[in-house]
Chain A
Amino acid sequence: MSRPDRTGTIFSPPAVASGEPMRPDRAATTPVPPAARLRGLRKVYRRTVALDSVDLDVPTGAVLGLLGRNGSGKTTMLRLLLGLSRPTGGTVELLGEPMPAGASRALPHVGALVEGPGFLPFLSGRDNLARFAAAEPLVRTSAIGETVKYALRRVGLDREAAIDRAYRGHSPGVKQRLGLAAALLAPRRLVVLDEPTNGLDPAGIRDVRRLIGELHAAGSTVLLSSHLLSEVEETCTHVAMLSAGTVVATGTLTELLEADGPALEICTTEQGAAMAALRQCRIPGYVERGLVIADLEDIPPDLVLSTLASAGVPVSEARRRRTGLEQLFVRLTEEGA
């Protein structure tokens, strides 16, 4: 339990009250099927193996962060999930539909921004969105204009004058926001975002985080790929790590962050005295990078602190240790590679 399962554990459905947004009544009584399910997925391009034996469940209602270096297979996985590409082996299920065969039933409820925004350069941003809105089965013809306006408002482009000029002249930030808007043109049960903060300034990054939060609160499932660990750490409820085409770790964010087991980090100038006091009370501990680490597997943190206080050890700071996602990521992906 102290290390994440390297074979890729199957997620248990999260305890979010929202459940499956389209059928909340059923969600309350029966177990919610995952929004996406990949089994033994394999993709080979000519002689390159892009993905191999990928098993992954995206729990309904979760915000799942897909972490991996460039070229680890994140985008390939998303493309297979969305039916843009056919798997060499294995199966893909999206909202309960086999892909790519069930694309027409699943995709109307799925919004996606994959491999950057894609728009016609000679049309304005607004007309480009209207073109995609017209292709959305869930958007009524009379509501296309309204739908586009609403999507632009959600990504903060409703007051942007450039939106009515040709797309080719837009800044990278506006282009990226338009790509996000295209993913939000209809009510979505699942939103897939491939590197959504690419090309955005800090305000744009904040907006994306807010947007993901809104989607999550509304009960949508969000699948987010990123190589930015901080982004995942701040927005996701679940994490899957991909390395060299395979899933090397999955779990809830908390599970992964406490992967090394609970511990207390203590800052003190008198490490020797601290260690002696801990040993006397049979509290396992060690010194690492100038910090005294007390193992909390069987011991409550207040006992550690009271022990140190009664021994007269000056403690300037004590905090729960969380393995940074970064540390874990480096360890898993470098061992794997």
Chain B
Amino acid sequence: MKAPVQRASRRTLAVPPAGDHHAAPLARLLRIELRTEPRRPRTLVALVVLALVPVVIGLGVSVRAADPGADRPGPGLGLITAVYGNGMMLPITALGVALHLLLPLCVCIAAADALAGEAAHGTLRGLLLAPVSRISLVWIKAFGVLAVAVLQVAVVTGTGLLAGLILVGGGDQLLTLSGSSVGLGAALARVALAAGWTVLQVAAVGAVALAISAFTDHPVVVLATVLGGAIVFGVLGAIPAMDWLRPVLLTSGWASLSDVLRDPVPGDGLTHSALLAGVYLVIGMTGAIVGTLRREA
């Protein structure tokens, strides 16, 4: 019984001595990461919750619209009000709503699991012992978090489009906030622009979360820090005396998503917030690399 086992091992496991075998192929590691991430139960729960956002908005809008006795909705929820009979607006509105809390929370969970969670399970040690170099590990994990962010934004956008067409209707064109209407093709281009911009914003939050994840063994610390930080940023952005701080607050740029719905699209806010997200991405990734290099695994 033992002899055939030994022979099998030599045939299938032994590697020719030639070539560089200091690291497993990166593509293989990325593929495994892509396959593992969506199987986390909390990733799936997050996707379901995110899919509910446009559905709930769509239902609310269609119920109010179907009730002739209801008042027209009051001010304050401008974006949601604008969805009435304007289905192509729903995906963008849903992205704007989700970006203010749910999307940062969900990407944070992924980033917290990526390094701190792996450390807590003891699997980070296993990967480092394989060995996967610490720098590669950060890039693989960043890739995984980015994949989750893309998936989350895609789910909000996709269900937003569907809910807009089915529940709200009026999907053949988009009535902009400026009062003009644009055709279906241009409307879809605006949805794509909104989705891409949102991915960048969410990725920036994810990078910062990954940096904190690199410095701790406790996933909860990542959630508390990033969400606490987002709330502090929101408060700072709302204090008039702190106006000078606003251009560097990631959260303050998020309001410019509604610019996508104007005609013509004012580029300043979107560009500034995109560049700001890029800066946060760089800072976050630098932090993640420093933290992982210093980590006692």
The interface of chain A, by Cβ under 8 A from chain B, is 79, 82-86, 103-105, 107-108, 110, 112, 114-123, 128, 130-132, 134-141, 143, 146-147, 150, 153-154, 182, 186-187
Contacts and interface: CB of A to CB of B under 8 A. Distances in A.
A138 B12 CA distance: 11
Contacts of B29: 134-135
Nearest to B2: A214
B72 interface: no
Given A131-B36, A135-B127, A140 B9 contact: no
Given A136-B24, A186-B13, A117 B39 contact: no
A121 B132 CA distance: 21
A96 to B, nearest CB: 15
B133 A104 contact: yes
A123 B39 contact: yes
Contact of B22 (A104, A119, A128, A143): A104
Interface string B96-140: 000000000000000000000010011111111111110000000
Contacts of A105: 22
Contact of A104 (B15, B23, B41, B297): B23
Sort A-B residue pairs by CB-CB distance and give the 4 closest, nearest first: A118-B122, A135-B130, A107-B131, A104-B22
Given A84-B296, A118-B122, A118-B125, 6 more contacts: A107-B131, A122-B41, A135-B132, A139-B13, A139-B24, A141-B28
B40 interface: yes
B40 A122 contact: yes
Contacts of B239: none
B130 A107 contact: yes
B22 to A, nearest CB: 4
A82 B126 CA distance: 11
Contact of A137 (B124, B128, B131, B296): B131
Contacts of A150: 5, 8-9, 12-13
A112 B130 CA distance: 9
B122 to A, nearest CB: 2
Interface string B191-218: 0000000000000000000000000000
B25 interface: yes
B32 interface: yes
Most buried by A among B15, B25, B133: B15
B21 A137 contact: yes
A104 B21 CA distance: 9
B227 to A, nearest CB: 23
A45 to B, nearest CB: 9
Contact of B24 (A119, A137, A146): A137
